[in-house]
Amino acid sequence: MSADPAPETGGAPLLIACALGIERFALRGAGPGAAGPVTVLRTGMGPQAAERAVTRALTGRTGEPGERRGVSGEPGEPRTAVIATGFCAGLAPGMHPGDLVVADETRDPAGRTVCTGTRILADALSHLIPGPLPGGPRRAVHIGPVVGSGHVVRGAERAALHSTGAIAVDMESAATLRTAVGHGVRPVAAVRVVVDAPEHELVRIGTLRGGISAFRVLRTVLPAFFHWHRSSLLPGGELDGHASPPDHPGRDVSL
């Protein structure tokens, strides 16, 4: 686990959690435009790693020499907003590498976590995503449930998960958000970039065109995260302790 805190700007904290070094590299530059101190946390792969890393970040407990104190400044700060992000596997037919997925809820065997401010976040992202690579499809922002898995999902298992209503799968989002709300009421969200999809399965991230496309999109998302975070701080605003209802899983914001 490692974290890169940005300079503090005086507001409530924002924790952006991702699993891989390449994802954190894409998210470099956190800080300008943020409403408060921002930490980009690399949790490591898998739900257990995400649980441990997010717990340490939010409670201030240190698990190893030199590990940083909690991002809140005070252990257990209840208003630290948390976004889980990085790459994912798309489950719905017609998805393409580089599409964005905004979770209205995350699911895993331990339960479900309803996300906050889904519409605000999706609308902001729809204005940021870059155009397609030459000859590629137009990108979309998809809204729906994101399911957690402890392993890479392929083929028939992908179809089975989609039959439950989920539109994407990754290994950390559900664990990240479940752990975050377990340590206090706070705004939570999950935004993932599709790196492979039913018709576009990849072998290794970063070596094929789809991986490059997903990385390019992930580099653009921070302004939308900061907009969502600022909205969460407005008294009586949409994000002020309330979740957006998951009314129509799988809907698209932009096509």
At residue 58, the pLDDT reads: 93
Structure tokens at 245: 């209802």
At residue 111, the pLDDT reads: 93
What is the number of residues in the chain? 255
β-pair type (100-108, 188-196) = antiparallel
At residue 245, the pLDDT reads: 34
Task: Find, among 217, 60, 79, the residue nearest to 138 by Cα.
Answer: 217
At residue 34, the pLDDT reads: 78
Low-confidence ranges of the chain (pLDDT < 50): 4-9, 62-78, 203-207, 237-238, 240-255
Residue 156, classed as helix, strand or coil, is: helix
At residue 23, the pLDDT reads: 92
Residues 6+ positions from 147 with CB-CB distance below 8 Å: 91, 106, 107, 108, 161, 164, 166, 168, 169, 174
Q: At what angle do helices 222-232 and 118-126 cross, to 10 degrees?
A: 150
At residue 224, the pLDDT reads: 95
At residue 254, the pLDDT reads: 37
At residue 72, the pLDDT reads: 44
At residue 212, the pLDDT reads: 76
At residue 171, the pLDDT reads: 93
Report residue 214 CA to chain centroid gap: 13
Residue 21, classed as helix, strand or coil, is: helix
